[in-house]
């Protein structure tokens, strides 16, 4: 093989290996900060075909409907606790801060935070749906079985 061609091949191999290592490190770093979406049923029963449950300490988003009569506010602080459900089990959400104006019992919400117990989420952010029609696409798919949610009437976030 020509020495010049051999040198080019070496540089190309080094470049490919370098890009591969950099891509692998970026993907590993991103996997640590991904917030997976769960419904209360998936959180309790497991998600996917293998019924994999999230681990305590994992960051995630949980979406569902606020259970009627479950909102408890601390009079001295901004601490709020409430339960969220979809079609089955309930998950408790703990939040410290001011809740969105559209937050109320029976309303759909998405809470983002860290799982501190198998069915307790310490939320860093709580989002309420913006009108009577909107529901996150993931939550709309999970809630098709609920009587009061007609999947044909749900406006998806991506405009479909």
- Per DSSP, the three-state class of 32 is helix
Q: Which of 92, 96, 104, 59 is nearest to 80 (CA)?
A: 96
- Per DSSP, the three-state class of 127 is strand
Q: Which residues contact 129 (CB under 8 A, 6 or more apart)?
A: 102, 107, 108, 109, 135, 136
Q: Is 134 part of any known ligand binding site?
A: yes
Q: Which of 116, 128, 123 is nearest to 61 (CA)?
A: 123
CA 113 to chain centre: 8
Q: How far apart are CA 55 and CA 46, in angstroms?
A: 11
Q: Is 28 part of any known ligand binding site?
A: no
Residues marked as binding?
130, 134
Residues marked as binding for heme?
130, 134
């Amino acid at each position: 093989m020509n020495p010049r061609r051999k040198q080019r091949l070496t540089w190309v191999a080094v470049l490919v290996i370098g890009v591969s290592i950099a891509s692998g490190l970026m993907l590993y770093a991103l996997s640590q900060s991904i917030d997976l979406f769960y419904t209360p049923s998936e959180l309790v029963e497991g998600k996917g075909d293998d019924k994999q449950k999230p681990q305590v300490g994992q960051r995630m988003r949980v979406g569902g409907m606020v259970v009627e009569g479950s909102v408890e506010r601390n009079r001295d602080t901004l601490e709020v606790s409430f339960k969220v459900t979809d079609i089955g089990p309930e998950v408790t959400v703990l939040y410290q801060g001011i809740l969105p104006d559209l937050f109320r019992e029976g309303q759909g919400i998405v809470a983002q935070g860290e799982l501190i117990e198998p069915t307790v989420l310490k939320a860093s952010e709580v989002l309420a749906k913006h009108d009577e029609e909107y529901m996150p696409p993931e939550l709309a798919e999970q809630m098709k079985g609920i009587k009061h949610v007609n999947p044909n009437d749900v406006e998806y976030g991506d405009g479909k």
